Structure 1
Amino acid sequence: MGRKTFTTLGAMTALVFLAVPAAADTKAGVDAWSRGDFAAAVREWQGEALKGDADALYNLGQAFRLGKGVPQNLTKAEDMYGRAAGLGHVQAADNYGLLLFQRGEQARAMPYVSAAAGRGDPRAQYLLGIAHFNGQLIAKDWVRAYALVSLAQQQGVGPATTALKQMDGFIPLDQRQQAAQLAIELRSQADTTRARQLAAADLGATVSVGVPSPVAVTLPRPVPVASAADVDNDGPATAGADYARPAVSAPRPSAVVATVPPAPRPSAVVAPAPRPAPAVTAAAPKQTGPWRVQLGAFGVAANADALWNRLKGRPELAGHPRINVKAGAVTKLQAGGFASQGAARAACDKLAAAGTSCVAASN
């Protein structure tokens, strides 16, 4: 399924075309879309969609969502995503669950959101974390909530930073430390799960994408949703689509509000402006000691590089050398040279207060 679609896989993922499809008309549609002939792309996909081709259904969902090649029709986009998800299309299932959540059908959305979070989708991890924190439609679990929202924050989901600051006022320090370790485990599990499911889809195997069995559900009061302006100054908050119609209500005093994070438009990718290097008057002395802080574990080594480049200028890490620890396919990012466990934990506390979770570890 992953070889003939175009997709946004998460908050920081670019448009991807993969061009070895099983259906020639679906590939022809991708080629037409690539050169900007959206109407021709839609014509190619429509025939394959009628035959039940999941990639063609997903691609039509993207076209209807964006209003390219066809008039924008969000109802049809959702229908296409849902039909593709029913055929085991992973990316369609991720978008379908987020769309359901966005328009207020949280009970129907939650199985899809949970499955997408298990595959590492950062928007789904954010929403599932908020649900676990509030105990809304799912068991209250503050350790898992903090771990999931931390993972979303590390992958660029803006509202996750605000949510973590709110959670810091409720979740005890020992639970936040447990969450840092759990986040490492969840990241590794998600990398494995997504790779396995996409490989299975490419081989034509049936993939479980979180489609729930029909059940009777009594809806609780809606999860409070922050206004669109809290997330995106240029437009509404989105969930796999550039629109939102959330009902705005006052949050309970002890609840963290969930704002569906935006997905990028797949027509363009804008590189962030480089941050200026901080002024340095003297090099920090190199620190030595038997304790380290573990900042994350990554299936893609480049993600470890990106996190270190973002954090290495912080005073908590000044003079502490970067250490990469390989654990199979996972790269653990650590900073070493802390004299004691207390010093390592103190650095983690300050980093957590700034929105980055970590855990103390010995050499």
Structure 2
Amino acid sequence: MSASIAIFALTQKGVETARRLVAVLPADCYVLDRYASKDEISFTSLKNIVADKFSKYESHIFVAASGIVVRMIASLLKSKADDPAVVVVDQEGEFAISLVSGHLGGANELARLIGDKIGAIPVITTATDCAGVPSMDLIARDQGLIIGDIGLIKHINAAILDGEKVPVYDPDGFLDLSAYSDYFIVVDDLAVLHKSRCGVVVDWHVHDLPERVLALYPRCLTLGVGCRRGVPADEILELIRSVVADNGIALESISCMGSIDAKSDEAGMIAAAQVLGLDLNFFSAAELDEIEVANPSGMVMKHMGVNGVCEAAAMKLANVTQILVPKTKSARVTAAIAKRI
């Protein structure tokens, strides 16, 4: 499997349409065994093949009846934040129906692409697309923001569909709404959102928000970590979570994690980064020693040859000369946070 799209075909006519799609899209083609050629992946049970492949591709195109597809994927669906795109194409290739994950998964875009490639009519039923208004989840995705509670998107989109301007509190200006001034209003006072039908907060701080206010998190923070040899992931994670909680920081706003290259084989640190879903970067002692840290350590200098690891790594990742959250220590772990400008 090398493609990001899987195409499934069940009938002789459907296979012909699937082959037209494979010719113009980067896709793997799964064909019922009796119709499969040597260049296609044959299967005998659609239910089994879909269950096996559903989470392994970013997008799925079914050349089949929509009812069959609904029954095949129903038990596999998790949430609109996690599900891959699903598009249904009829066997004649006349229509491309965006069925699941129209926005975040990209099914609407895929349906349109199929239309461009083979002349199918895209069938898109998401309300914002039908009304020709922006959708908050797409705006957030396109601008690299992390969506807090995706279930709150519906309140924002509903207000837009009703013709209301949605208040947005964005103190650092991470969200560019210049193209959407008809739908959003930027406010300077967070209290405004407590009085509004709904709203959006864009911040790396944690706020106590009303139930219909959506939090969006900019990935603007970098995490530096140091530890003694053999420290388990749980101990590293405990300090990291304590640091963000004590400083009112959203964990979702941390974009990456770093340390000294002497720790590049540290299993606990590697596992902790994986749990948090962060890229883990390592720097040489010489690279870290270029950074002036707020809290130098004689012990670290003795063992690692640098004045500090966690603060220097955080600032190196953020390409800044000031630390946001200085070194915090537990018995065997240190952590610090920097902010990109």
- Quick check: TM above 0.5? no
Q: Which has the higher helix share?
A: 1
- Give the TM-score normalised by structure 1: 0.27
Instruction: Tell me: higher relative CO, structure 1 or 2? Use CA pairs within 8 A at least 6 residues apart.
Output: 1
TM-score normalized with structure 2 length = 0.28
Give the structure with higher Rg (CA): 2
